[in-house]
Chain A
Amino acid sequence: MDGLRGHAAPDEDATPQAPLRRPMDPWLFAAVFALSALGLVTVYSASAWLGHHQHRDWQYFLWRQAGFLGLGFVLMLVTSRIDYRLLRRFAPHLMFAAMAMLVTVLFVGQEINGARRWIRYGSLGLQPSELAKVTLAVFLAAMLARQGERVRSFRTGFLPVTFVAGVTMVLVLLEKDLGTTLLLGALTLVMLFVAGTRASYVVAAVMLAAPVIWYQILGVDYRRGRLEEFLSGDSYQVQQGLIAIGSGGTWGLGLGNGKQKLGFLPENHTDFVLATVGEELGFLGIAAVMILIALVVWRGIAIARIAEDRFGTYLAVGLSSLFGLQALVNMAVVLEVIPAKGITLPFLSYGGSSMLAGMVAVGILLAISRSPDPWRWSDQRSRNRVKPRRGASKRAAEPDAGKKNVRRAQPIGEPA
């Protein structure tokens, strides 16, 4: 064994800050860079009139978005240099902090449009639900990695995961943010699915959640209104978004030439930024955005497949599917496929919290992509065996290593 693993020996000494051998994934970085650059231009074009109207400053949103973007890239690069396995160690702490913020916002949050989603400090606002998305992915990845084969069990596998996710979702739902709640639910199910939970649990969870969602939609006036608007095609915002995209045609009206920004299309720089892209850059612009999103997801999945350990795999799947799901939901709303939700388009929409959270998430993906060790099943154990004296801290990072009650692979002929 030692001989076989000999080539990996230097890594045994690697501290999280040690030089890394594999470069970070260039395609992911390029795709995110392109998306956020396009986003910055589009946000400027879309928000210039609004900025002047509200703040007497044509560039108000541009400079803010540029600031978030700059900060985001710094955070991304810093995160990509940190060993992501630290996240596993601190996953419970992060989850606790995120939940604390979600609770806090319910009390001190600034109320906008009847929802309390923002913790305000001066002109800066923090949206805990944006952070909760990434944190939940981290925590679930850590939890599922620790569970290992137990994931197939209902009591010790499925239930704890859904419990944590459920609590998070309820907290987000209390912010009256159904869109993000559903997103978190979908994220949880995707991660459970990838980790190998029984398909029947996933189906059962969906079926159990359905009546709750149904009630949440029909029992809450504005959501019911949105649904009815959607079904009848009367939603002003969605119609204006379609006009924007339809006006763009194949090639678009040209950057800055969109007219829907002139007070016709609300939120054209945030949730409906895709409509602005469609108006000014046409179908080709939208296609480019979709291809870039697909690139991000693809690279995320690819990173998951080459990740060093199970935690990395799960986390990469979780984060990339988070981007994918969020983009899908956002675009589906704009393209009048599903009823309106308050979901932003990653990297394109104006917004500090979602931008920073997204950039940190990309940083984590990049960190996973550049990880030194190929993924192996017995990573923890090998380390423990070779360097027993450092085992204590490594074990802390691999809490499930060596647990006895892991379900065992069995010959097919024998009953379990």
Chain B
Amino acid sequence: MGSGTGAAPMSEANPSAPASGLGAGSVLGGRAPAGRARNLLQRGGELVRPMATDLRAVRTRAAVVGTVLALGLLGLMWRAWNIGVLRHDHFAELGHRQQLRSYKVEASRGDIVDRGYIALAVTDRVHKVVVNPRLITARGTTDDVVTALLELFPDEDEAYLREELARDKAYRQLRMSLSEEQAARLRERGLDGVSLEQAPHRVYPRRTLAAHVVGRVAAGGKGNLGVEYGMEEYLRGRDAMSRAYFARGKKLLVEGFPDPDVSRGNTVVLTIDSAIQNMAEEAIDELVATWTPASASIVVLDPRNGEVLAMASRPTFDPNHPVETLAQTVNHAVQSDFEPGSTMKAITVAAALETGAVRKEESFFCEKGKWKYTEDHSISDTKPSEWLSVSEILAVSSNICTTKIYERLDKQHLHEWVRRFHFGERPPIEVSGATPGVLAPWQKWSDIQGANVSFGQGMTASPLQVAAAFAVLANEGSYVPPTLVRKILTPEGDEVPITRPAKQRVVRAATAKTVLEMLENVVHSDKGTGKNALVQGYRVAGKTSTAQKASKQGGYAEDEYFASFVGAIPARAPQVVILVSVDLPQGGHYGNEVAAPTFAVLATRVMEHLGVPREDGSRPAPDPIRVLASNVKLAEGFTPIADIEPALPGERPIQVDGGLPDFTGLTIAEAIDAADEAGVVLQPVGSGIAVMQDVPPGPVEPASVVQVFFEPPR
């Protein structure tokens, strides 16, 4: 195309310029630096009109375009400054309003631990399966979902799953709890309409141990029994509000999330000693197996400070599972009241001695076992006697002579003294449903009722009340309200101050000592009614009781008894008061027969556990069960999580070098292997993961037998 003018000696820039020489000059001008190009306009004295396509014009126009664009950018930069910097606060506020929302952080319930910080009740978060039945039905994937869930939960009822999935609901939480592993597997499946949600879940890792004391929570997560109920305000914690970043309505980032402990409830440290509690549970189980009573209870109390070291009741329950009958959940040591029987004689005698109504050397005539006290009522003794000293009256438990002592006091004074021992009032114990017992005002007492009260009939009290009253005698005459709570710790480990009623002097220390000495005869004298309560190596001050049960028709039933034994040991400086009470024992009814042997067995073990010196000054060898407490005992700033979650199988190397391994956290199979390696004989109890062992890890004699307790991991 360009060939047509190819030979023309003129440049393209000014093809029609009059002089070709000048045209060539302009070419040079065009290529020359801008400063020398001015001659384009004036060439040879002749003004030339610049062409539109002239280099300089094009350059200028390009620069104009660039300048306009740059000005535009400058304007936008001012705009960005205006928005980003000048109006920053306004837009940041708008942003926060939509990005940040407050939401409720559900409080996590505090733990309940024993005095050695062994966890008795903890809150765990478990995964729950949440399904959207509508979506699943719409997708027609019901069968897939059921198959997947049954794969994870082989024991689950297929009918239940299908029923839930058939509901016309968009949200159903299924009842199964998932472990982390199960949750991961379910998540992997990525089923539509199936999601996971975390839910708080109360766990009682020691199951039936101290079940009545610890109690349980209702479906809503509120305590409705035991300490769970009584300490609700401390355990509950407070729901907290937190701000979080949200992405399309879904909580995503948490900024300034309160420490999870902020909303956590306090930890309640019980006075319960799990080791003693375990002994009590075993003792009461044996008792129940032997006498098949309607109910039974054991209270182990430290008389010096009112701390309940153990409290067992039968029938019992596992708070991790629903109960079959409500009767299982009744804490008979606290909630049931019985006519205490002969135990009250000690109170009557103490009152009479304290007021000086009776001198301890005095003797009473016991009417040979039968005394017509009023027109309609006669009082009888099991063992007819003639003259008895006060001490002997207690030893043989004479109703008639106790009545005679009572007569020195009269109704009003006896009532006053019984009240002073805190009968007829609700003990300030921290569990639900404590009964005050029944103690009618003395004005309403008939003559026979006054006599009855003096030997423990015609009034009622809970076993705890009886133990607490007896503890007055064991505590140099001072009453300390029984308590189950040793202290309350905040999540940070600080102690929450709690006000406790002060201890009150009831009788002089000398009086208490005198009565206690007399009560030693119950166990240690030949005439004593409580010889079965003998504890090898220790002196016991105790009192049997065999109370007739009031029949529904009025009067007393012939063959229904409430048998009990309460004792303080060691008698001269009591460290514990143990009360064993049995309601409606079958095949026997005397306190000495039914309750005292259990006292003896339990007291022996407790003395060993506490390492109390014997009369001869020797100390008992520590009971191996102490491991139960020491093995799991943690420092003051304990972490409950570490306690409740035994290491899962395979997570912990088995340590066998030198003696007995620490079995906790092992499965039975692993434990057997470890035991074989260590050359000891394993005696497994329960199933699941090892949580305690009766011999501490460390040096051990070859071929010794080690009992290891297993619990299912939740």
Contacts and interface: CB of A to CB of B under 8 A. Distances in A.
Question: Are A and B bound to each other?
Answer: yes
Interface residues of B, number: 68
Contact of A264 (B9, B55, B98): B98
Contacts of A194: 58, 61-62, 65
A196 B57 contact: yes
B248 interface: yes
Interface in A288-314: 290, 293-294, 297-298, 300-301, 304-305, 310, 313
Nearest to B14: A409
A396 B3 CA distance: 10
Query: Which of A245, A260, A313, A374 has the most CB atoms of chain B within a 10 A radius of its CB?
Result: A245
Interface in B288-343: none
Q: Is the interface of B mostly helix, strand, loop or mixed?
A: helix
Contacts of B1: 395-396, 398-403
Interface string B34-64: 0000000000001111111111011101111
A377 B27 contact: yes
Contact of A407 (B2, B51, B79, B84): B51
Given A283-B84, A286-B77, A410-B49, 9 more contacts: A193-B65, A196-B52, A259-B245, A304-B62, A327-B73, A332-B76, A374-B31, A377-B55, A412-B47
A298 B66 contact: yes
A155 interface: no
A149 interface: yes
B159 interface: no
Interface of A: 1, 4, 49, 148-149, 151-152, 190, 193-197, 242-250, 259-260, 262-264, 278, 282-283, 286-287, 290, 293-294, 297-298, 300-301, 304-305, 310, 313, 317, 320-321, 324-325, 327-328, 331-332, 335-337, 374-378, 380-381, 384-385, 388, 391, 394-396, 398-404, 406-413
A51 B393 CA distance: 90
Nearest to B75: A337
Interface stretch (B85-93, B495-503, B633-641): B85-93
Given A324-B69, A398-B2, A411 B47 contact: yes
B55 A244 contact: no
Given A246-B90, A286-B80, A384 B3 contact: yes
Contacts of A49: 247
A242 B98 CA distance: 13
Nearest to B190: A56
B641 to A, nearest CB: 31
Contacts of B88: 246-250
Given A293-B73, A328-B69, A402-B4, A263 B80 contact: no
B31 A376 contact: yes
A412 B49 contact: yes
B99 interface: yes
* 3 shortest interchain CB distances as A-B pairs: A246-B91, A401-B2, A196-B52
Contacts of A301: 62-63, 65-66
A332 B63 CA distance: 22
A148 B14 CA distance: 11
B52 A245 contact: no
B62 A317 contact: yes
A107 B615 CA distance: 107
Contacts of B553: none
Given A190-B65, A301-B66, A399-B2, A412 B92 contact: no
A404 B94 CA distance: 67
B648 interface: no
B191 to A, nearest CB: 15
Contacts of B27: 376-378
A290 B80 CA distance: 10
For B5, B11, B62, B72, which residue has the most chain A Cβ atoms within 10 angstroms? Answer: B62
B94 A263 contact: no
Contact of B28 (A4, A242, A298, A396): A4
B83 interface: yes
Interface string B10-24: 011111111000001
A39 B24 CA distance: 50
Contacts of A384: 2-3, 6
22 contacts: A151-B52, A194-B62, A196-B51, A245-B80, A245-B83, A245-B91, A246-B83, A246-B88, A259-B245, A282-B84, A286-B84, A297-B66, A301-B62, A301-B63, A324-B66, A328-B69, A336-B83, A381-B2, A384-B3, A391-B3, A409-B49, A412-B49
A408 to B, nearest CB: 3
Interface in B622-638: none
A378 B98 contact: no
Contact of A408 (B5, B16, B30, B31): B16
A378 B55 contact: no
Contact of A381 (B12, B57, B95): B12
B47 A148 contact: no
Nearest to A241: B83
A334 to B, nearest CB: 9
B246 interface: yes
B62 A148 contact: no
A377 B13 CA distance: 5
Given A196-B58, A246-B91, A264-B99, A328 B46 contact: no
B187 to A, nearest CB: 12
Nearest to A313: B58
B76 A385 contact: no
